[in-house]
Structure 1
Amino acid sequence: MSGRTQVRACPERTCVGCRERAAKRDLLRVVKVEDACVPDPRGTLPGRGAYVHPVLVCLDLAVRRRAFSRAFRARGQLDTRPLRRAVEDSP
């Protein structure tokens, strides 16, 4: 026996809002489509992704710190209204 466990490792990502590490499944993936931040709950949209906890506190922190613009290497402010609607509607 090699001493290894049979449990699969869960990938971790950092929330761009609160900067805490969490399991990838506990975070919401966000991608940039044109000049808007769009939620990608299935994780299948192409492009660079950023992760945020699906709560308004982390979303507001990320917007205030301009974390999405930095994560996507975008110039100027990005529209976060679609993302805000998705977070508000999530259970």
Structure 2
Amino acid sequence: MQLHRAMNPDWRFSDPAVFLLSEIATIVSWQRYVTVSPRYERPEDVPPVFLPATYGPQRDSFDQTTEPDRSDSDDRARAAAAEVRAEMAR
């Protein structure tokens, strides 16, 4: 059992229900922080018990600055959609 846990650190989150509960816990943690933080002048003054926490497995950061690769099939699909829209507009 310990070997399995060592080789699969995210073993607890294999069930979708547990993963969903960890997402809900993260949201509630941030909600508590957002509710309490306006009562303090500086963010550093917020008590540590109200600081947001992230639950669940480590996630890869999603970089939205990169453009997705576009292929010829995308261009053909857009051209076909443009033709259909042109026919419907007549």
Q: TM-score, normalised by structure 2?
A: 0.21
Question: If each structure's helix is expressed as a fraction of its own residues, which one has the higher value?
Answer: 2
Which entry has the higher C-alpha Rg, 1 or 2? Answer: 2
Q: Which has the higher strand share?
A: 1
